[in-house]
Chain A
Amino acid sequence: MLAELPLLSLVIWLPIIGGLLVLFTGDQKPFLKPVALAIAALTMLLSFCLYAGFDVSTHEMQFVEKTPWIETFNVFYHLGVDGFSMPLIILTTISTLLVVVAAWEVIQHRLSQYLAAFLIMEGLMNAVFSSLDAVLFYVFFEAMLIPLFLVIGIWGGPNRVYATLKFFLYTFFGSVFLLVALLYLRHVSDSFAILDFHAVGLSLNEQTWLLLAFLIAFAVKVPMWPVHTWLPDAHVEAPTGGSVILAAITLKIGGYGFLRFALPIAPDASMVLDWFIITLSLIAVVYIGFVALAQTDLKKLIAYSSIAHMGFVTLGLFIIFDIFANASTGSGAVLAIEGAMVQMISHGFISAAMFLAVGVLYDRMHTREISAYGGVVNTMPVFAGFAVFFAMANAGLPGTSGFVGEFMVILAAFQANFWFAFLAATTLILGAAYTLWMVKRVFFGEVANNEVKALTDVNRREFWMLASLAVIVLLLGVWPEPLVNVMHASVEHLLTQVSQSKL
């Protein structure tokens, strides 16, 4: 029965239409929050059906839906998922549910619009991950900016207008080059299907320009150094929910874009230019790690640590060419791509948890300055337990999901070049340093002031919100098999695509 339902359309349109309903319900209705929660929960359950019905033995697109949309341009409403996109959809639906829960008592101002924005956002993000038509992909990719722009601008902090305009214009600037690239690919391949783009032959010159266009678009999203500056601003000003979605999912769209567009469409150019992207990634890992160390704002610290962690993703994706060159077997390359994917998913959960934890503190103290805290463990022991656990996961403690992805990428990097691995491994020190130092200053020590003294521990809603994430992080840490299995066939397929020259 599951196979007959248009599951992908459901996980896209249920939250969008539900979001519109919520929008027009108005703030005063008592059933507003339960309805939003039900929509988010139902969407999550539907996305679990995707997992249950997923065939792990093939790299082919699954749950495919295809109907003509704009006939003059041969644009199709063409959906489908493979091992890369399916886990990201599940990440999206889980994160959105948590955001709805997190908004429960906290958002007082224009609640219906807030919930609607996140539900619509969820549908759009699911659509980005499942679009197989370039125009459809681009439409959702851009449409996503609208709700996020409003979320940061309406519910954000004091400097929200600057932050949200910067966010919008940065990402819009990146994506218009993507549009030109996609239109050029259509010109060459006479089709808008992304899978046809993969097959089209391109000269090295064409590939280089296309790769640069993809790089601008997705590097801004990831974000890679030096186009990362919008992220700390956006994170600091965004409300908790906005930060969670930004960190957990929109950053992943950058990584996903490299997997879906850059690598398979321009493999030769990727090989030629891989040093460039690897350099940027290593700068992100090392330099941004140091920058994170110097932060005095909790959210900024997590934002910079996000950039450093995403550096691992781009590193993992682009070291495969060096591994090809060095090793006779392809196992290292598989490890690199899978490591990057695991890192994306794991960072999604951990960063969401970190931002939710900061949200819990912020709701009580209304400050994100690290210096305003101290000795929180004395007044909020349960919360401190969770926070320390997530901080450890962020630092890559073995047994948490944060460790798995980083370890796989570092291991693979050894097969590429010792120094790549060496520099990447500094994150284990830097990450531990900035996270633990933050933990020490915020949670341990004497109770710093009367406000901290007056703190109350997490309530039941917050407890379950953090506990569910803790379970996921722990589970993926000790048993990543279910995640890795799903993507294995797709990774193998990607590597065959990448290893075949298109010249």
Chain B
Amino acid sequence: MFQVPNMLFALPEMVLLTMACVILLVVAFTGARKIEWVYGLSQLSLALTLLVVLWSLGDWGLTFSDTYIKDALSDLLKVFICVVNMLVLLYSVNYLKARQLMQGEFFVLAVFSTLGMLIMVSAYHMLTLYLGLELMSLCLYAMVAMQRDSAVATEAAMKYFILGSIASGMLLYGMSIIYGVTGSLAINEIALAIANTDGNETILSFGIVFLVIGIGFKFGAVPFHMWLPDVYHGAPTAMTLFIAAAPKIAAFAMIIRLLAEGLIDLQNHWQDMLVMLAVLSMILGNVVAIAQSNLKRMLAYSTISHVGFLLMGVLSGTEEGFAASLFYTLIYALMTLGAFGMILLLSRQGFEAENIDDFKGLSEREPWFALMMMILMFSMAGIPPLAGFYAKLSVIKAVIDVDLLMVALVAVVTSVIGAYYYLRIIKVMYFDKPVVEHKLEASSSMQIMLSANALMVLGLGIVPGILMKLCTIVFA
């Protein structure tokens, strides 16, 4: 007999999908005239989705023939994805306006991409996961290409698209191998089949290789990081911000669903692979970032190193480790949001504040925002009492608890190397004299939210307990 699936578990996605269609229609009929409305509608749809997520908190279960899950992890990640993307849109508006990029397509793509992220977070079946991933990624490719007259942006979009497609292909291939061995695409059935040791472990580990490659591509972990600096650098800063923040949260859900929930019993296979990815990412990301003079490129390499740190928690294979990685992901999203937000804040008509030298003497021009940037940079470097420190502390603790001391040592040594380039930003802001004179053009709401964003990084550094506890509860 046909059973009606529990639609309520996917209510946030349905709300967002409906709103996305409405936005699409509004864009189609008003064109560029009512672009402010479209922006408002996008914010409203994200806010509505957030409200629905918050309203339905705690009611957990599987639905749609067990292909869709609503659990503590998905709830927490959805809250953060919505909040992060609302901030991203807010930070981007001025920048987009100044560059004639304030078009309906941006908002449509942003909302659909968010929908893809939400689906990824809730996917409990490899196909659903793939569907969500592609929905998100395709929107991102298009977004990068929006500035079509810019050669750099087009090149970045091309690279992103091709490498992203290869990654998706790898992922799909890995999924098909695992399907071939276990006979299922559902995460829980895969886990069950492996626990019963049905199927050939060698072939399974072969499948894992492809899964890990796909995940590595999506995260931008070394040696699958090639696309990341070019895309971050080439894309308009608003798009970079969109790519850098929330998709990492969604990717975190993907790695947890696949490796930690589906293939946990094969941890001995994927742990070593992740160790390699993590160690290489931390080393390469931190070392190469030193040589960058473009802030976006520097932040791209810093992202690679953060990905290395983030993987440390996952590779430990313990509940504490997953919680630590989750904590790291959320803190990372907040810090990245703030850092790219600062670039957007200082950019204006015909001027991209994306070179490190553009921050010269900021503490004399804009003492308040220099302080905010300093907080973000020290936090990224992992200096207490800022949130980034506790993120590093918890992932390092996770690997030490499973006796992977060498990984911990690599992590701390590379974080010293990393400290150098973050300090350079602070040096430029505080110790150098200003060269350019200009006033901020950003709206006051952006200024307030950006300050709140940075102060949150400080606040979470002084009382990190609450968020850490939330992250632990999710995996308990």
* Contact surface of A with B, Cβ cutoff 8 Å: 68-73, 135, 138-140, 142-143, 145-146, 149-150, 153-154, 160-161, 164-165, 168-169, 172-173, 176-177, 179-180, 183-184, 186-187
Contacts and interface: CB of A to CB of B under 8 A. Distances in A.
Given A184-B400, A184-B405, 16 more contacts: A68-B465, A139-B384, A139-B389, A142-B383, A142-B384, A145-B383, A153-B427, A160-B431, A161-B431, A164-B427, A168-B423, A172-B416, A172-B419, A179-B393, A180-B400, A187-B400
Interface stretch (B67-75, B81-89, B222-230, B406-414): B406-414
A176 B72 CA distance: 34
Contacts of B412: 176-177, 179-180
A177 B411 CA distance: 10
Contacts of B426: 149
Nearest to B415: A176
B464 interface: yes
Interface residues of B, number: 33
Given A73-B397, A183-B396, A139 B385 contact: yes
Contact of A187 (B384, B401, B464): B401
A154 B430 contact: yes
Residue of A70, A150, A173 with most chain B CB atoms under a 10 A cut-off: A70
A146 B465 contact: no
Nearest to B465: A70
A70 B471 CA distance: 13
A154 B384 contact: no
Contacts of A183: 393, 396-397, 400, 408
Contacts, number: 84
B416 A173 contact: yes
A119 to B, nearest CB: 16
B427 A161 contact: yes
Contact of B465 (A72, A161, A172): A72
B468 interface: yes
B405 A180 contact: yes
Contact of B469 (A72, A154, A180): A72
Given A70-B468, A72-B472, A153-B431, A142 B405 contact: no
A270 B409 CA distance: 22
Interface in B353-406: 378, 383-385, 389-390, 393-394, 396-397, 400-401, 405
Contacts of A180: 396, 400, 405, 408-409, 412
Nearest to B399: A183
A139 B385 CA distance: 6
B98 to A, nearest CB: 32
Contact of A165 (B390, B408, B423): B423
B384 A168 contact: no
Nearest to A177: B412
Contacts of B464: 70
Nearest to B469: A72
A158 to B, nearest CB: 12
A154 B431 contact: yes
Contact of B427 (A70, A165, A177): A165
A72 B468 contact: yes
B323 to A, nearest CB: 8
A291 B378 CA distance: 36
B383 A176 contact: no
B381 to A, nearest CB: 8
Residue of B394, B400, B409 with most chain A CB atoms under a 10 A cut-off: B400
A154 B430 CA distance: 7
A161 B428 CA distance: 10
B211 to A, nearest CB: 30
B469 A143 contact: no
B173 interface: no
A180 B416 CA distance: 13
Q: Enumerate the 4 nearest inter-chain pairs by beta-carbon distance, A residue then B residue, closest first.
A: A176-B412, A139-B384, A70-B465, A153-B431
B469 A71 contact: yes
Nearest to A139: B384
Nearest to B473: A72
A14 B464 CA distance: 22
B80 interface: no
Contacts of A71: 465, 469
Interface in B272-310: none
B391 to A, nearest CB: 13
Residue of A142, A177, A186 with most chain B CB atoms under a 10 A cut-off: A142
B419 A169 contact: yes
Nearest to A145: B383
A138 B408 CA distance: 17
Contacts of B405: 180, 184
Nearest to B428: A161
Contacts of A169: 416, 419-420, 423
A73 B401 contact: no
6 contacts: A70-B468, A71-B465, A142-B384, A169-B419, A179-B396, A183-B396
Contacts of B384: 138-140, 142-143
Nearest to B416: A173
Contact of A149 (B396, B409, B423, B468): B423
Nearest to B402: A187
Nearest to B327: A72
A455 B419 CA distance: 44
Contacts of B389: 139, 142
Residue of A138, A146, A164, A176 with most chain B CB atoms under a 10 A cut-off: A176
Nearest to A71: B465
A174 to B, nearest CB: 9
B293 to A, nearest CB: 17
Nearest to B403: A187
Given A154-B431, A180-B409, A69 B465 contact: yes
A234 B426 CA distance: 18
Interface string B439-474: 000000000000000000000000011001101100
Contact of A168 (B401, B419, B471): B419
Nearest to B432: A161
B465 A135 contact: no
Contacts of A177: 412
Interface in B222-240: none
Residue of A160, A161, A183 with most chain B CB atoms under a 10 A cut-off: A183
Contacts of B415: 176
Contacts of A173: 413, 416
Contacts of B469: 71-72
A176 B392 CA distance: 11
A35 to B, nearest CB: 19
Nearest to A174: B416
Nearest to A70: B465
Contacts of B419: 168-169, 172
